[in-house]
Structure 1
Amino acid sequence: MATTGGRPDDSSTGHSNEVETLQREYEWLLKFEVNDIVEQLQGVIAECSKRFPLSIPGHHQTDARSDKFVMQNTIATSADQIKVVATLTGDSISHADITLRLPKHAQPSQRTIVQNDAQWKLQQIQDAGNHLMQAMNLLNPNRVGGKFEFISGQEVRNLMAAVMGCLGRGRACLVVPKKRTIEDIMQGRNMVPPLPNDVAVSFYVQSYKLVFAVYHVQKDSHGQQKFDVLQAECSVPWLSEALVLFTVALQLCQQLKDKVEVFNQFNDFVVPEKL
């Protein structure tokens, strides 16, 4: 006698089990693993922030570190054209002794000093620190227990995108100096004695280096403005450390985004209110 009906659909049962397993993994990710990675991220950003003169709520503000550098002329600048001994304190050149030799200038030998009472502000360092602080604030919401309570992957992706935006802008402040016109540079005359009106100098950061640039403004045979550029530079160890930490933090953010994206193909599970 023939029987009616058939065997249960094993494929549908298997698919249901797979979805349930993925759902549990997703819940675990959002409730526990995300917070573990966020904690790691907080640690990296906190470590990076120690390199900057930041005032962090709840933390004792230590004095800005001070380092003296003898800057080295670049390949395009001969050894005796620029001599600079600069002291970098936090986000400012607190002191610098500058000697220039400009053969094409009416006054070929010049010496000037940046003094402690008229420090040279390095806006790049201040801006990078501010972006770092913004990233830190995003990861330190006022919550009981200090934990995030995510219910969807989109929330995680949004948070990581915001944090990566802050970190990316902070890193870019150090790596890519803002372009300035020669007129803007010539306005920065906080040195004693002042340099001649046709000589401008600038301190700026480029990646892990402190750069000192000299611009000798001249007129060509047609009366058009031109200028000779001389440079000296030095490596700043703490800037190098900060850039590495910026990169590590960005990588952690991307890894967390990637983990969440794995579940995105399943229409973004939603974690129940009570797990």
Structure 2
Amino acid sequence: MSQLTVTSSYLKPQNADKNEEEEEAAKDEIRKLRENELSWVQEKRVVMLIDESLENLKHCCAKLNLGSKCDERLQIPVLQTTTEKYSLTPRQGAQDTLKASVTLLDDNVIQAEVSIKYPKAGGGYFRAVAQPDVQWKLQQLQDLGNYISRVTIAFCDLKDQLTHMSVYTNDSGKRVLEDLRQIKNELCLARASIQLPRKRSLLELCYFPPTRKFVPQLPQDQLLSFYISSCRLVCASYQMVPKTVHPQGLSVFMAECRLPYLDEILRRLNHTMNSVQRLIGYIEIYQN
């Protein structure tokens, strides 16, 4: 039986090479456009963002009296601090179980007065005043100031780098992106510090020096805590009670007041955060 051998040859279309060249040229053109766009973003958009953000942060620094903490390039004056007194009451509809007044000097509590519903006390209420001779800071306010200060320094450093940069490349874009992500992280922490409560444990409260400075001293079955939550100053009273009264053996009363200046700071932080996030997304598009 004879074998049939089939041979074939493929002739490359005459215009194939031309199409490949045109495709490569188109890719090069797109690449150049992306590089030019990324260069423009670094030279113009990032600097515009920094200037706008620093204006917002200047207001925050002034409200928190951070003249000595924030970047000196902002030239924020160090002002004489003044005390602010706040009255804390139970939320609307709650029983009149706890009232408090707190005097703040920046992030320091310099005086606290409380009136707590307490059956064992004469008249059914326990009243005490604390004017501690030890440092009593609201840690969340201190953290807020530290985060904002670090953001101002990061923005000023980034602006200096961009100002002295003669060529804006993909590599410089990566560094800018890394800096913006770090700034975004600091802004997230700053916002969380005044939105999320940071409560001390009952054991910590037992040995917390300032709350042991009340006159008269707090009853042994009574603990007090002061913290920030959702831009509010909160006073919480923890009273140990028999489990027949409360299943957890703990009765909690709360009083609070809104701190308007924290609302404004949060609004400015949100605005800055959103601007940074949009720019991060923009740079990521032109780097991919």
TM-score (norm 2): 0.78
Q: Does 1:99 align with 2:146?
A: no
The equivalences for 1:229-240 within 5 A come to: 229-240=252-263
Q: Which of 174, 179, 184 does residue 154 from structure 1 map onto? A: 174
CA contact (8 A) 1:127 1:173 kept: yes
Q: Does 1:122 align with 2:138?
A: yes
The equivalences for 1:79-98 within 5 A come to: 79=96, 81-98=97-114
SS, match of residue 73 in structure 1: coil
Q: Deviations over 1:63-95 (max 9, x none)?
A: 33532222121257412x222222232112222
Q: Does 1:195 align with 2:218?
A: yes
- Which stretch has the larger CA shift, 148-157 or 84-93? 148-157
Q: CA RMSD in A?
A: 2.9
Instruction: Give the aligned partner of residue 282 of structure 2.
Output: 259
Q: Which amino acid aligns with 1:45?
A: L
CA contact (8 A) 1:114 1:120 kept: no
Alpha-carbon distance, 1:144 to partner:
6.0
- Which stretch has the larger CA shift, 230-239 or 94-103? 94-103
Q: Which amino acid aligns with 1:168?
A: C
Q: Which amino acid aligns with 1:61?
A: V
SS, match of residue 200 in structure 1: strand
SS, match of residue 80 in structure 2: coil
Unaligned runs of 5+ in 1: 266-275
Would the alpha carbon gap of residues 126 and 148 (structure 1) be closer, same or farther in structure 2, given more than 3 Å must change? farther
Alpha-carbon distance, 1:211 to partner:
0.5
Instruction: Give the aligned partner of residue 231 of structure 2.
Output: 208
SS, match of residue 203 in structure 2: helix
CA contact (8 A) 1:202 1:213 kept: yes
Question: 1:129 and 1:111 mapped to 2: Cα distance?
Answer: 33
Q: Deviations over 1:33-81 (max 9, x none)?
A: 22221222222222222222422353321133532222121257412x2
Q: Which amino acid aligns with 1:241?
A: E
Q: Does 1:186 align with 2:202?
A: no
SS, match of residue 218 in structure 2: coil
Would the alpha carbon gap of residues 35 and 158 (structure 1) be closer, same or farther in structure 2, given more than 3 Å must change? same
The equivalences for 1:236-255 within 5 A come to: 236-255=259-278
SS, match of residue 86 in structure 1: strand
Q: Does 1:64 align with 2:87?
A: no
Question: 1:171 and 1:49 mapped to 2: Cα distance?
Answer: 14
Alpha-carbon distance, 1:11 to partner:
5.2
Alpha-carbon distance, 1:184 to partner:
1.2
SS, match of residue 50 in structure 2: helix
CA contact (8 A) 2:111 2:131 kept: yes
Would the alpha carbon gap of residues 148 and 241 (structure 1) be closer, same or farther in structure 2, given more than 3 Å must change? farther
Q: Deviations over 1:208-264 (max 9, x none)?
A: 10101111113436xx97211001111100111111122112112111101101212
Would the alpha carbon gap of residues 214 and 63 (structure 1) be closer, same or farther in structure 2, given more than 3 Å must change? same
CA contact (8 A) 2:227 2:233 kept: yes
Question: 2:153 and 2:142 mapped to 1: Cα distance?
Answer: 17
Question: 2:151 and 2:159 mapped to 1: Cα distance?
Answer: 17
Unaligned runs of 5+ in 2: 1-13
Alpha-carbon distance, 1:159 to partner:
0.3
Q: Which amino acid aligns with 1:25?
A: E
Aligned residues: 258
Identity %: 24
